[in-house]
Amino acid sequence: MKKEFYVVIEKDEDGFYVGEVPALEGCYAQGQSIEELMHNMRNVIEMCIEENPLVQSESLGVQKVSIDYEPADA
């Protein structure tokens, strides 16, 4: 059986790509490239499903929010 999961990807301050599967609690991985991250994510997802086969919730998407911001020391 095939299952699909959404992965939220961010780039950290060290330049690594960090991924999280919101539907699986504690399901995180990282990589130096998107390809390495996704390879690692597949492995981590398999481990997460073995430990806890219940999927929490379906992601609805990502929204961007803009705010006006001026640093306090400006």
Which residue in 22, 26, 25, 19 sits closest to 5, CA to CA?
22
Predicted pLDDT of residue 74: 58
Summarize pLDDT for 15-41 with one digit per residue, the tens.
999 999 988 889 999 999 999 999 999
Tally of structural domains, the chain: 1
| CATH number of the domain enclosing 41 | 3.30.160.250
Mean pLDDT over the full length of the chain = 88
Identify the domain containing residue 37 by its residue range: 8-51
Which residue in 51, 58, 49 sits closest to 1, CA to CA?
49
Within 1-74, where are the H helices?
34-51
- Does residue 62 lie in a domain region? no
